[in-house]
Amino acid sequence: MMQKFEYASPSSVESAVSLLGPDAVVLAGGTDLLSLMKNRVVTPSRVVSLKKIADMRGISAAESGELRIGPLTTIEELLGNRTIREQFPCLWQAADGIRSPQIQAVGTVGGDLCQRPRCWYYRNGFGLLAMQDGKSMVVEGDNRYHAILGNDGPAYFLNPSSLAPALIALGATLRIVGPSGERTSPVGEFFRTPAAEGEKEYNLADNEILVEIMVPNPAPASSTYEIREKEALDWPLAASAAVLEMSGETVQSARLVLGHVAPTPWAVEQAGASLAGKAVSEETAAAAAVLAVQGARALSRNSYKIRLAEVAAKRAILRAAGMEVA
């Protein structure tokens, strides 16, 4: 049973910001928040719904030439947008990986970026860092689905966002509004690894709201490749987004971002740099993929994720270059 809370439904961003604070939470699609509240993992005194704020919806071309995505845009709307499918395939493919029709219909882009980790320790009330008696429950316990990168402690959970790796690889930015005005942030800088219990895993203050996602120039040579246990709704075991800038058959530059392997989406600059000046082939993609997981450190039960992340990186590169992959 949920704890009692006050419900607010403002019609403007400014009104919404004024209603937020340490004991308030934002409601978008609600696919994640409501389950957290039912299990009393999150117990807000106020829920601020954004559904009446029309400016936070839709996909359009901005005056700057960038693609503007409102954070209340649903996954279903992303999938139905021809511009995203044709010009930003890595983002479309990431959305397509969210296989639940119910989540596609209700879940939002902003909600995907701000959803909380799926870690079973966190979801059962042990906190993001899952510490007990000064020791990590993850290291000592069942860590099959925990981090292989960025896991030098104390955080071992995985960032759950499906869309973040693609948005980071695309160079997207976020517009965030709070009581002091607005600020922008590259998507890659939005996420952080908490060093102490009580810290958030993303850079959004209690009284700030994500109001816009801006994606720069089209990247038709891009791809997202995910590996999961089943084709129905399931969170990936490993994923990779790849964006290639091509000149003929030669890579001019490449950006590679891994997902579901670390507490944040994991950009691997060295792997992308290794492709510059080369044609994409099985050999060059495989070599870049090895670099992508360089430094990975398995816990007691998740060493398989290193190989899966390597495979996801390789196949994302090949698919971005227009080469068929299984």
The model's pLDDT over 25-68, given as tens digits with 9 standing for 90+, comes to 999 999 999 999 999 999 999 999 999 999 999 999 988 889 99
**Arithmetic mean of pLDDT, 151-166:** 97
148 within some domain: no
For residue 1, pLDDT beyond 80: no
Going by pLDDT thresholds of 50, 70 and 90, the confidence category of residue 230 is confident
Q: List the domain range (segments joined by +) for residue 237.
A: 222-320
**Whose CA is closest to 244, among 286, 293, 280, 283?**
280
Please give the tally of structural domains in the chain: 1
Where residue 289 sits, what CATH number does that domain have? 3.30.390.50
131 within some domain: no
Are 93 and 56 in contact by the 8 Å Cβ rule? The answer is no
**Arithmetic mean of pLDDT, 247-273:** 97
61 within some domain: no
195 within some domain: no
For residue 102, pLDDT beyond 80: yes
Q: What is the mean pLDDT of the chain?
A: 96
Going by pLDDT thresholds of 50, 70 and 90, the confidence category of residue 326 is low
Rounded CA-CA distance 29/176 in Å is 18
Tokens of residue 269, six digits: 């600059």
Q: Which residue has the tokens 């958030």?
A: 200
316 within some domain: yes
179 within some domain: no
The tally of CA atoms less than 13 A away on the side-chain side of residue 162 is: 27
Instruction: Sort 168 into a burial class: Cβ within 10 Å, 0-12 / 13-18 / 19+.
Output: buried
> Which three-class secondary structure state does DSSP give residue 150?
coil
259 within some domain: yes
299 within some domain: yes
Tokens of residue 302, six digits: 């998740």
Dihedral sign, CA of 232, 235, 238, 240? positive
> Of the given ranges (60-64, 74-78, 319-323), which has the lowest mean pLDDT?
60-64
Instruction: Provide, rounded to the nearest whole percent, the portion of the chain with pLDDT above 70.
Output: 100
